[in-house]
Amino acid sequence: MDLGNFASLAHFLPELLLTGGLLLLVIVDLLVANKTHLGDLALIITAGALLLIALTPVTASAWLFHRMLVFDGFAMFFRALIALAALVAVWMSMGSEEVRGCDQGEYYAILLASTVAMFLMAESANLLMAYLSLEFVSLTSYILTGFLRHNRRSLEAALKYLIYGGVASGTMIYGMSWIFGISGSLDFAEINKALTTHGALPVLTVFISLVLILAGMGYKVASVPFHMWAPDVYTGAPIPITTFLAIGSKAAGFALLTRFFFPAISSLTASGSWQVPKGVDWPQLLLVICVVTMTLGNLAALQQTNMKRLLAYSSIAQAGYALMGFVVLSNDGIRAMLFYLFAYYLMDAGAFLVVMIVANSTGREDIDAYRGLAWRGGVVPAIALSIFLLSLTGIPLTVGFIGKFYLFAAVIHGQFYVLAIVGVMNSVVSLYYYMRPIKTMFLDSPNGDEGRVAGDTWNYGLMGVLACATIALGIYWTPIITFANRSLNFFVGPA
């Protein structure tokens, strides 16, 4: 179906709600003197959007707004994931000491705008739309990163983010212009038609344009060599924003990456594997990126002493794992990647949340602030953080293990044996740095100068929910894999 502007609105309700909500936030911000409840309003709006998404059945896939956006199972998965990420980010912002000093109305309004932008990124069916939504996400992210106006690190991070982002998106739009030149269209379905039926495909030209486009998308998922911004930005941004960037922005990046490299330029065969345009060997390139990303992320994380930086490098490595599902060129792999992104959402949000709880109480983010946490009254956050970190490592009885299990299964099934070995060896290396905070919390005795860690009920509640979900879904994960299975549905035009 190719829906016009008005007919599309029925499928666009979550975005409309968020947009309306953010305007409402701005207005309410002007009208009321007491700003403490703006966060509640933002939370209600986000929860409402999530509810709308949950209630929307994907009965018929369609193009929206004259083929600018696409409404299908795949988009729904990312809408849900990004809305969940936004929910966590808003929730965390309400309990964050850092955010308390900021302009509440603007903060939440931009956060919601960023969420809408990520939705659009996951739904793009057109290169122009893809570029605009990616820039939209970037712009809101720069502002949010630099939101602590009186904090030099925050400002520095925003500036770095901006410069890297400018270069990456400039490179990307240049690549897009090449694709437009070759295929004569910006529409994903038309590009696909042009590339697959092209008589003599200019292989090198296509390859170069794909590399250029990869710069922009790789920057969003923080894969090597476009990862350099991540450690600084993750460290400088307020923790709820770091979380939102790590789980939401990365998910949106993966959505666009997948939609562009699979339905837009490759074609699905009957056996569930994807066929790339003849001679254009982008999977090889991504294989190298995937291996380097996880290895570099893990090796760099070994040295970190700041928890946010450690988690930043870890999130680079995690993106590398998720890319394994990408390079095997099969629906198995994409499904594993979807599952992994969901698992990553739970465990990474949880880990950052504990970092925030500790930072709220002690004002510190370095690993030394965690010394003997379990023995000085912080046993609950200590256990929760251990669960999240072990899940990130991929130890069984956590959802992270199941995610890795599916990824490695897809890799072994696709006969990428060397990749499998590199992947598991990376898991072993990662154990060392994921265990370091755990060691510090449980095995070391407190010095006595670390300060008490106490959290409010809201933060502890969210932490409990995330920790329980991490374990429960590690034991019984059928609902998630069913959801991922249903979402493996790309709309590429009427059959």
Partner 1 sequence: MDHALTLITFVPVAGMVVCLAMPAAMKDACKWIAAAATAAQLAIAIGLYTSFDTTTTAIQFAEKYQWIPAYHITYFMGVDGISISMVLLTALICFISVFASFSITRAEKAYYALLLMLDAGMMGVFVSLDFFLFYIFWEVMLLPMYFLIGIWGGPRREYAAIKFFLYTLLGSVLILLAMLGLYYYGAQSTFDMTVLASNASHYSTTFQRIVWIALFIGFAIKIPAFPFHTWLPDAHVEAPTAISVILAGVLLKMGTYGILRVNFAMLPEATHQLAWLFLGVIGTINIVYGALCAMAQTDFKKLIAYSSISHMGYVMLGAASFTAAGINGAVLQMFNHGTVTAMLFILVGVIYDRAHHREIAGFGGLAQQMPVYAGMTGFAFFAGMALPGMSAFISEVLVLIGAWQTYPLMTTFGAATAILTAGYLLWTYQRIYLGPFNEKYAGYLDLSFRESFTLVPLAVIVLILGVYPHAVLGLLNTSLVHLNQVVLSTPGPAVALLH
Q: Interface mask (CB under 8 A) for partner 1, residues 181-220, using x and -?
A: ----------------------------------------
Q: Is 405 in the site for partner 1 (CB under 8 A)?
A: yes
As measured in angstroms, the least distance from the Cβ of 269 to partner 1 is 19
Q: Is 435 in the site for partner 1 (CB under 8 A)?
A: yes
CA 44/CA 47 separation, integer angstroms: 5
As measured in angstroms, the least distance from the Cβ of 260 to partner 1 is 29
Please choose, out of 209-217, 310-318, 323-331, 408-416, the segment that lies near partner 1 by the rule CB under 8 A: 408-416
Query: According to CB under 8 A, which one of 390, 399, 453, 469 is a site residue for partner 1?
Result: 390
Phi, psi for residue 267 in degrees, rounded to 5: -130, 145
Residues in the chain: 495
Residue 44 tokens read as 């209600």
Q: Is 471 in the site for partner 1 (CB under 8 A)?
A: no
Query: According to CB under 8 A, which one of 4, 20, 181, 396 is a site residue for partner 1?
Result: 396
Q: Is 483 in the site for partner 1 (CB under 8 A)?
A: no
Cβ nearer to partner 1, comparing 356 with 395 = 395
Q: Is 380 left (phi over 0), alpha (psi -120 to 50) or beta?
A: alpha
Tokens 């065969």 map to which residue? 269
Q: Is 439 in the site for partner 1 (CB under 8 A)?
A: yes
Q: Is 272 in the site for partner 1 (CB under 8 A)?
A: no
Q: At 64, which helix (H) or strand (E)?
A: strand 62-64
Query: According to CB under 8 A, which one of 2, 97, 170, 432 is a site residue for partner 1?
Result: 432
Residue 450 is classified by DSSP as S
Cβ nearer to partner 1, comparing 286 with 410 = 410
Cβ nearer to partner 1, comparing 240 with 333 = 333
Q: Is 370 in the site for partner 1 (CB under 8 A)?
A: no
Please choose, out of 199-207, 294-302, 355-363, 435-443, the segment that lies near partner 1 by the rule CB under 8 A: 435-443
Q: Is 488 in the site for partner 1 (CB under 8 A)?
A: no
The count of residues interacting with partner 1 (CB under 8 A) is 28
What is the SS3 assignment for 103-139?
A: CHHHHHHHHHHHHHHHHHHHHECEHHHHHHHHHHHHH
Segment 440 to 469, residues that bind partner 1, using CB under 8 A: 442-443
Q: Is 16 in the site for partner 1 (CB under 8 A)?
A: no
Q: CA triplet 85, 327, 270: central angle to 5 degrees?
A: 100
CA 86/CA 243 separation, integer angstroms: 9
Cβ nearer to partner 1, comparing 256 with 374 = 374
Q: How far from the centroid of its chain's Cα atoms is residue 39's Cα?
A: 22
Q: Interface mask (CB under 8 A) for partner 1, residues 410-429, using x and -?
A: --xx------xx--xx-xx-
Residues with Cβ < 8 Å from 156, sequence gap 6 or more? 232, 236
Cβ nearer to partner 1, comparing 9 with 299 = 299
Query: Cα–Cα distances in Å, from 385 out to 353, 379, 405?
Result: 9, 10, 22
Q: Is 409 in the site for partner 1 (CB under 8 A)?
A: yes
Helix-strand-coil split of the chain, %, nearest 5: 75, 5, 20
Q: Is 302 in the site for partner 1 (CB under 8 A)?
A: no
As measured in angstroms, the least distance from the Cβ of 338 to partner 1 is 14
Query: Cα–Cα distances in Å, from 244 out to 1, 76, 348, 445?
Result: 33, 19, 10, 33
Residue 369 is classified by DSSP as G
Q: CA triplet 98, 102, 106: central angle to 5 degrees?
A: 130
Residues with Cβ < 8 Å from 244, sequence gap 6 or more? 85, 86, 88, 89, 111, 114, 144
Q: Interface mask (CB under 8 A) for partner 1, residues 143-172, using x and -?
A: ------------------------------
The residues that touch partner 1, with contacts defined as CB under 8 A, are 390, 395-397, 401, 405, 408-409, 412-413, 420-421, 424-425, 427-428, 431-432, 435, 439, 442-443, 476-478, 481-482, 485
